[in-house]
Structure 1
Amino acid sequence: MSLLAALIALSFLIFFHELGHFLAARFFGVKVEVFSIGFGKKIIKKTYGDTEYALSWIPLGGYVKMKGQSDSDPLSQNQDPDSYTSKSPLQRIVILLAGPLFNILLALLIYVGMAYGDREVLLPSIGEVQTGMPAQSAGIMAGDRVLRINGVEVKSWFDMAEKVMEAQGRLTLMIQRGDENLEVGVIPKMIERENVFGEKVSVSVIGIRPSGEIGVMHYGVWDALRLGASQTLSSSTLIIQGVQKLISGVVPTSEVGGVISIVQVMDKAQESGLVQFLALVALISINLGILNLLPIPALDGGHILFNLYELVTKRTPSESVLYYLTLMGWAILFALMFLGLYNDINRIVGG
């Protein structure tokens, strides 16, 4: 059942992506011939209006088939008023962007929904002050609770740690000690740590550890929006950096995963509860959106590139260039899919 839930969640992410394309296409008057979740033979199909809605046999993708647009034949053209190819380059770019943007919007909504209301957080209460570190020199003591940093309220240990790590120079901390509030100044120390990609990076620390005290904090609409936007931005940045590190060789190709890995991780996340599962769904949604913007001709990003060329130069790419670039794009895409599948099977066989 948990595996089924993971597949349903993945299918929903694909549905939301295709829904973006569908709504943008309909907004510009483009006829959508097929809206399918999954590939291959259609299990269920029903026609409403001009569109055939289908659930196909292989639930590992989906597609919107617009009139005049064909991934298998990039040279096909149709100049009917309700055709995709009859629209201006800018309109086509909006249609192409809508899918990835819907995935990022979905992630934002999930993060905001998770943040809104009462939630348990690790409080910014200090359990240990490390010897010889800036916090000790500033007079901070175990049992203190950080209320503000540079005048900005901190509600959780995560909020506080984020502000310390991003610090540039001296910090002013408002701390609660017993019944009194004290203001202390501290200059963070730069140390080297490994980031998520295994690289050595410099971060600011002051030398404190949490007490482990848990509290319930209320996040209103504005706080939830701010937190959701911040999380969406940081997740997007992490994925973009991951792609860059993969291209530059910092991250080995053996780390590339396919659909099997995605479903396995989603299945595992359910064991940690609904919150962890939703956080992972949001991250995968952002991943789906950003990867579709890569400038590979078989993806939305590649088609956007072609339309940008037409928008700037006022002429379409030559048929031979368009044809061979599209073939190259599909070759790259299939190579990445097979690499992910190979790594997935390797991990299963290797335990």
Structure 2
Amino acid sequence: MLFTIVAGLIGLGIVIFVHETGHFLAAKAMGIEVEAFSLGWGNPLVRFSFRGTEYRISSLPIGGYCKLKGEQNLQPGESPDSARITTEEGSLFSVAPWRRIITFLAGPVSNLLFSVLILSLIWGIGYSIQTFGNRIILVSEYGSVASGDSRYPADIAGLETGDRILSIDGEKVSYYRDIQELISIRADKTTDLSVERNGEVLNLSITPMLNPQTGGGIIGVSPWIEAVVEEVSPGSPASAAGIRPGDRIVAVQGHPVSNHLDFLQALQGHPLRFGLTVERNGERLELRMVPDYDENGNPLLGISYKSITSKQQASSVIDAFSRGIGESFSILGLSIRSFALLFKGIDLQQAVSGPIRITYMVGQVASSGFSDGIMTGLISLFRFLSFLSIALFVMNLLPIPALDGGLIVITLFEMIRRKRISPKVFNRYQVFGFIFIMTLLVFTTFNDIFYFFTNH
């Protein structure tokens, strides 16, 4: 848990530091003096001055900040009754409005460029994913073990258990991961499927439904996972029963098993002991298992099934950058659509994360990845940070007072009027923004706490 928290704080800090670095570099280029630039927050441990800026390494190595000369005018309550916003040479409000816009814009743009760079590097290095094939199971047929409803889009469209999805809206599908990614961005959109069934190729139309917990699209299918054991946990019920890696489970309690859900379906009565048939080296063996169950009644057997390892890597440097740019803008589009989904009845407790849950998620991704090796951990961590960085890009450009987007809007307003906004109006604008942000922060923080109490 400690590693998860520390890794999460450091990861989130990297994204924030990239953002502040963008503001720092743009301010320097636009002729705005930077009074202080810090790596981390809190009391400075190390400080030195160079060319008018005090550089600091602070006690809390989380993110950082960039203090611009004259930025105190951005804070609510700063001389709201004065006739004009005071300006000094080299201060934020002494430069032309377009220079301020570039400075405000540079933070979010740095986050977007960070994502492009990281994803391009990952594509260049290459990475592996664990997934399953493109063969599917209808979860409605296994409602008791797959949280299935009676009718899903897959049932309405005419899909059947055992079908292989070959393409979605013309995009090739090789793995179940492809199905998840392509369907998740098509909620409530009519989608064309190419499906293989019994050697024939069928063309079907489907409209994925919105999952209120995630905000993504779902059609009600699960991957067809062959009941072939890949790993057995030491000391687990499966180990005690004599199951070995490579065994194929062919029957449980006398019920034939074709896939992993058949196995789970056979255990819905929560038997204290059951018999199973496995195939090993061409022979069938009869075994008996005493399972464990969690607090929700789910069987804890200590086995994992054989998956497919897919290697993803760009063919050249140009291809790596092309893929990095393409994926970044694909995530950007998804992030923008996600904001619209907030008004479509999604479960805000599940779908909206605050700083606590985001930190935990970053750390969880890191710790899970590092358990498979240093390189896997680094790739998993920075891939997630690239997604988070794009979310920060979108969030900061919203036209909300006190955010970069709100400051850009009010500066554009000044340019159109050719007259600087009065301190009183500017102060009210900023006060509204800070109240909104603090309200959102309180809501998401309590939402995170409630989420952890109900899910952990």
TM class by shorter chain equals: 0.7 to 0.9
1:118 touches 1:219 (CA, 8 Å); kept in 2? no
Indicate whether 1:115 and 2:123 are aligned: yes
Give the secondary-structure state (helix, strand or coil) at the position aligned to 2:71: coil
Give the secondary-structure state (helix, strand or coil) at the position aligned to 2:46: strand
1:284 shift after superposition: 1.9
CA distance in 1, matches of 2:214, 2:173: 28
Query: 1:94 maps to which residue?
Result: 102
Q: Counterparts of 1:89-168 in structure 2 under 5 Å?
A: 89-116=97-124, 117=126, 119-120=128-129, 122=131, 126=135, 156-159=175-178
1:51 shift after superposition: 0.9
Indicate whether 1:269 and 2:286 are aligned: no
1:32 touches 1:51 (CA, 8 Å); kept in 2? yes
Give the secondary-structure state (helix, strand or coil) at the position aligned to 1:53: strand
**AA partner of residue 228 (structure 1):** G
Indicate how the Cα distance of structure 1 residues 43 and 297 shifts in structure 2: closer, same or farther if over 3 A, else same.
farther
> Residue 315 of structure 1 is aligned with which of 409, 413, 419?
419
User: In terms of mean alpha carbon deviation, does 126-135 or 15-24 score higher?
Assistant: 126-135
Query: 1:48 maps to which residue?
Result: 50
Query: 2:21 maps to which residue?
Result: 19
Query: 1:232 maps to which residue?
Result: 328
Indicate how the Cα distance of structure 1 residues 319 and 163 shifts in structure 2: closer, same or farther if over 3 A, else same.
closer
CA distance in 2, matches of 1:208, 1:261: 27
1:307 shift after superposition: 0.7
1:59 shift after superposition: 5.3
2:193 touches 2:203 (CA, 8 Å); kept in 1? yes
In structure 2, list runs of 5 or more residues that go unmatched: 139-153, 226-306, 370-376
CA distance in 1, matches of 2:168, 2:14: 40
**AA partner of residue 358 (structure 2):** I
1:341 shift after superposition: 3.1
Indicate whether 1:297 and 2:416 are aligned: no
Query: 2:204 maps to which residue?
Result: 187
1:123 touches 1:155 (CA, 8 Å); kept in 2? no
Indicate how the Cα distance of structure 1 residues 343 and 61 shifts in structure 2: closer, same or farther if over 3 A, else same.
farther
Indicate how the Cα distance of structure 1 residues 36 and 247 shifts in structure 2: closer, same or farther if over 3 A, else same.
farther
Residues 115-137 of structure 1: CA deviation (Å, up to 9, x unaligned): 3336346476547799997677x
**AA partner of residue 105 (structure 2):** L
Q: Counterparts of 1:186-265 in structure 2 under 5 Å?
A: 186-190=203-207, 192=209, 194=211, 196-197=213-214, 209=223, 212-221=307-316, 222-246=318-342, 250-252=346-348, 256-265=352-361
CA distance in 2, matches of 1:163, 1:346: 31
2:118 touches 2:383 (CA, 8 Å); kept in 1? yes
**AA partner of residue 309 (structure 2):** I
1:301 shift after superposition: 1.4
Give the secondary-structure state (helix, strand or coil) at the position aligned to 2:98: helix
Identity %: 28
Larger radius of gyration between Structure 1 and Structure 2 = 2
Indicate how the Cα distance of structure 1 residues 276 and 128 shifts in structure 2: closer, same or farther if over 3 A, else same.
same
Indicate how the Cα distance of structure 1 residues 62 and 161 shifts in structure 2: closer, same or farther if over 3 A, else same.
closer
1:210 shift after superposition: 5.5
Indicate how the Cα distance of structure 1 residues 228 and 122 shifts in structure 2: closer, same or farther if over 3 A, else same.
farther
**AA partner of residue 302 (structure 1):** G
1:39 shift after superposition: 4.1
1:157 shift after superposition: 4.6
1:293 touches 1:300 (CA, 8 Å); kept in 2? yes
Query: 2:149 maps to which residue?
Result: none
**AA partner of residue 111 (structure 1):** L
1:161 shift after superposition: 6.3
Query: 1:68 maps to which residue?
Result: 70
Give the secondary-structure state (helix, strand or coil) at the position aligned to 2:443: helix
1:245 touches 1:251 (CA, 8 Å); kept in 2? no
Could you state the TM-score of these two structures normalised by the residue count of structure 1? 0.76
Indicate how the Cα distance of structure 1 residues 278 and 61 shifts in structure 2: closer, same or farther if over 3 A, else same.
closer
CA distance in 2, matches of 1:268, 1:160: 24
Equivalent residues, number: 337
Indicate how the Cα distance of structure 1 residues 208 and 254 shifts in structure 2: closer, same or farther if over 3 A, else same.
closer
In structure 1, list runs of 5 or more residues that go unmatched: none
2:212 touches 2:346 (CA, 8 Å); kept in 1? no
CA distance in 2, matches of 1:68, 1:16: 22
Indicate whether 1:283 and 2:378 are aligned: no
Query: 2:267 maps to which residue?
Result: none
1:34 shift after superposition: 0.8
CA distance in 2, matches of 1:62, 1:237: 28
